[in-house]
Amino acid sequence: MARIFNLIIVILELIGLYLSLKGRSFKQLLIYYTQLSNLLTLFSATLFVIFGPKELVEIVRYVSVCMMIMTFLVTVFVLVPMSGKVKELLFSGSGLYYHLIIPILTTITFVLLEEKVSFFWVCITPVLTLFYGIIMLILNYEEKLEGPYPFFKIRQQGIKATVLWMVVLMIVISMISTTVIL
């Protein structure tokens, strides 16, 4: 049953990727945590369909699920309220797939139908998220990039606000990683 749901996730991910690539290069997508989490979910679900519930596959699935939950929560509780773009971010285009359907489906599939991973892996998603965040902050500080999310705009919001954002986001991803593994 888990393989069938992972196959559905692969199909939905391919639709979302197609919609995301309209008018953009693949390289442009890679600055977004949303895109990275969805690409990892596409990869992990594909591995699951091919190889089944092997330990390494489940670890990659675990990381992708945690990242997808983070994507969902940031979209719903940060991006939508800050932008007011409910329809654009949640109910149309790639947002429908990447911010809503796939995060919910992949989380339910992983939690209810797949093998649990060892608690040893609980730190991997926060570390990867921190690594991504540091890169984005450096690129924003050096004015090589703007955003792609409001909490990375260190020059506009200042260091105190940026540090507060990063602490809150790290607490959230740590809580997600712990909750999913239990």
Residue-wise pLDDT tens digits, 115-139: 999 999 999 999 999 999 999 999 9
CB 103 within 8 A of CB 71: yes
Q: Are 176 and 72 in contact (CB under 8 A)?
A: no
What are the extents of the domains in the chain? Answer: 2-181
Residue 167, C-beta contacts closer than 8 angstroms, at least 6 positions apart: none
pLDDT in tens, 36-85: 999 999 999 999 999 999 999 999 999 999 999 999 999 999 999 999 99
Residue pair 5/113 in contact (Cβ under 8 Å)? The answer is yes
How far, in Å, are 86, 95, 113, 148 from residue 106 at the CA level? Answer: 21, 15, 10, 24
- The model's pLDDT over 2-32, given as tens digits with 9 standing for 90+, comes to 999 999 999 999 999 999 999 889 889 999 9
Amino acid of residue 158: G
- The predicted structure's pLDDT at residue 23: 83
